[in-house]
Amino acid sequence: MLKYLLAKNEDIPEGSAAVFFGFSAIIWFVIGTGLGSFNAAKLAFPDFVTGNIYFAFGHMRQVHVLAVIFGWISMAFAMAMMYITPALGNTKLWSEKLGLWNCLFWNLGLTLGLTILWAGITSGREYSDFPWPIDLYLAAFVFIPLGVNVWMTILNRRTQGIYTTNWFFAAATFMVIIVFLVGNLPEFFHLTGLTEAYLTWWFAHNVLGLWITPVAAAIAYYTIPKVTGNPLYSHRIGHLHFWSVVVFYSTPAAHHLMSAPLPEWLKSFASVEGVLILVPAIAFVSNIMLTMQGKWHMFVENIEIRFTITGCLMAIPLNMQGGFQQTRAINWYIHGTGWIVAHAHLALLGFSTFLEAAAVYLGLQTILKRKLYSLTLANMHFWLLLIGFTTYWISMTIAGLIQGAGKIYEVPYIDVVIAEHPYMIARWLGGTMVFTGNVLWLYNMWMTARKGSVVPAGRMPHELAYER
């Protein structure tokens, strides 16, 4: 792959950037969930690896979070954009070379940023923990080149219309640049106090709402019609979904700070908008489920459809939680507890990861023209991910409710820690299952590239029978 970095753009095979991004994403997923499993072990077994500050929870937690968000999730998005955007425009990617350099700089920047973070150099702002030079680097060498490649590919399309997925890709790549530059203003200009707090959560909320959620959904809008062969149920619902994401997801940042001295009207506004994130969720889930009509057997038979539909179904509890947990009546109880950690994992490891995993499975097989090496390994990956995630989510939700009760009724902290202990062990077990599944996935995709059956030209990988 690296040999193409200095080649002419026209000499680089189509899909090279997508393959580079796809494997990078899986490797970062293995690293990110490995760190997560290690961190969970420290919470389950307090005597596990002590005496070295670099293995302290405080040093490692944000490395896990940002490795997963900007390594796994965002690189899987980039992978999907590199092959889906041109496919939907009946054209080639605008620049494979830019895509390859983008991926290289992405990997280098992320490695540098996470190393610095691990060393303890941090902005101290949750989700935007990177120091500001790394933030600027990510904007300049990660998100802007990605956006340029996506926008130019869409502008150079050979279709008159633009399919729903590409609306989301074009808008999300633009919005994430704005989120990065505006959300990190407190670091660029040393803004402090309430302004810093608000912009920190504006960034955190919008990385989820204007980057991860819309791009994950956009992938499903491609995967389901492409693999099932059904038309997307409704172009109209696609409009409702797209615009409600932009309008309702961009505004509720203040609901993360319901107890802060922000103007109360802003909290009221944000809280209503927070419930209204259910509008895009309803539009998305209904459109995808109705597109599946007559093809539900593929939910059992096809690995990409199984991943995608599972992810879509997770959007229901995700948005029910997200919509209501931020209201004043519920927020006072669950704020600052493990409930929120469970919810964040439902968004990133549940909803979004399942949709991206489908895109990576489908994309790598399609571009490499290789049938998946082992369906058994893919099935194991799916079930380890699903059971591991569910174990994690349920145990952390229960732990969060215990913490909430402890907080409200002023139970001594150590008693809460003792009460939570079994759930911390369950959390570690769930997280470790996810990590194990990802190691199997990496092996499976590596073997697919090397030894997968060749997919004849003009055929989709899922049209061929599995050989193992």
- List the one residue from 98, 112, 152, 330 that touches another protein (CB under 8 A): 330
Rg (CA), the chain: 22
Interface region with another protein, contact rule CB under 8 A, candidates 39-47, 94-102, 105-113, 263-271: 263-271
Beta carbons of 34 and 114 less than 8 angstroms apart: no
Task: Classify residue 244 as left (phi > 0), alpha (psi -120 to 50) or beta.
Answer: alpha
Interface region with another protein, contact rule CB under 8 A, candidates 82-90, 120-128, 205-213, 374-382: 82-90
- Of 64 and 267, nearer to another protein (C-beta) is 267
- Length, in residues, of the chain: 468
Task: Check binding of 263 to another protein (CB under 8 A).
Answer: yes
- How far is residue 77 from each of residues 81, 388, 455, measured CA to CA in Å? 6, 23, 24
Beta carbons of 80 and 215 less than 8 angstroms apart: yes
Q: Which residue has the tokens 């949750």?
A: 126
Grouping H, G, I as helix, E, B as strand and the rest as coil, residue 120 is coil
Smallest distance, another protein to C-beta of residue 196, A: 18
d(CA 271, CA 254): 8
Smallest distance, another protein to C-beta of residue 420, A: 23
Smallest distance, another protein to C-beta of residue 355, A: 17
Q: Which amino acid is at 448?
A: T
- List the one residue from 248, 307, 339, 392 that touches another protein (CB under 8 A): 248
Smallest distance, another protein to C-beta of residue 158, A: 10
- List the one residue from 22, 32, 71, 89 that touches another protein (CB under 8 A): 89
Task: Classify residue 263 as left (phi > 0), alpha (psi -120 to 50) or beta.
Answer: beta
Q: Which amino acid is at 305?
A: I
- Of 73 and 258, nearer to another protein (C-beta) is 258
CA–CA–CA angle 450, 451, 456 (5° rounding): 105
Q: Please name the residues in contact with 159: beta carbons below 8 A apart, sequence gap of 6 or more.
A: 88, 89, 90
Residues 427-446 that bind another protein (CB under 8 A): none
- Of 235 and 450, nearer to another protein (C-beta) is 235
d(CA 367, CA 351): 25
Q: Which amino acid is at 205?
A: H
Selection from 248, 214, 253, 202 nearest residue 351 by Cα: 214
Residues 368-427 that bind another protein (CB under 8 A): 410
Task: Check binding of 161 to another protein (CB under 8 A).
Answer: yes
- Of 3 and 158, nearer to another protein (C-beta) is 158
Size of the site for another protein (CB under 8 A): 61
- List the one residue from 17, 146, 253, 270 that touches another protein (CB under 8 A): 270
Beta carbons of 31 and 114 less than 8 angstroms apart: no
Interface region with another protein, contact rule CB under 8 A, candidates 49-57, 144-152, 268-276, 294-302: 268-276
Task: Check binding of 261 to another protein (CB under 8 A).
Answer: yes
Task: Check binding of 238 to another protein (CB under 8 A).
Answer: yes
- List the one residue from 17, 26, 60, 87 that touches another protein (CB under 8 A): 87
Selection from 269, 153, 161, 172 nearest residue 212 by Cα: 172
d(CA 422, CA 428): 10
- Of 239 and 450, nearer to another protein (C-beta) is 239
- List the one residue from 61, 125, 267, 427 that touches another protein (CB under 8 A): 267
Task: Check binding of 135 to another protein (CB under 8 A).
Answer: no
End-to-end alpha-carbon separation of the chain, Å?
A: 28
- Of 113 and 252, nearer to another protein (C-beta) is 252
Interface region with another protein, contact rule CB under 8 A, candidates 36-44, 110-118, 237-245, 295-303: 237-245
Selection from 404, 401, 338 nearest residue 44 by Cα: 338
Binding mask 275-294 for another protein (x = CB under 8 A): xx-xx--xx--x---x----
Binding residues for another protein, rule: CB under 8 A, are 84, 87-90, 159-161, 163-164, 222, 225-226, 231-240, 243-244, 247-248, 251, 258-259, 261-276, 278-279, 282-283, 286, 290, 323-324, 327-332, 410
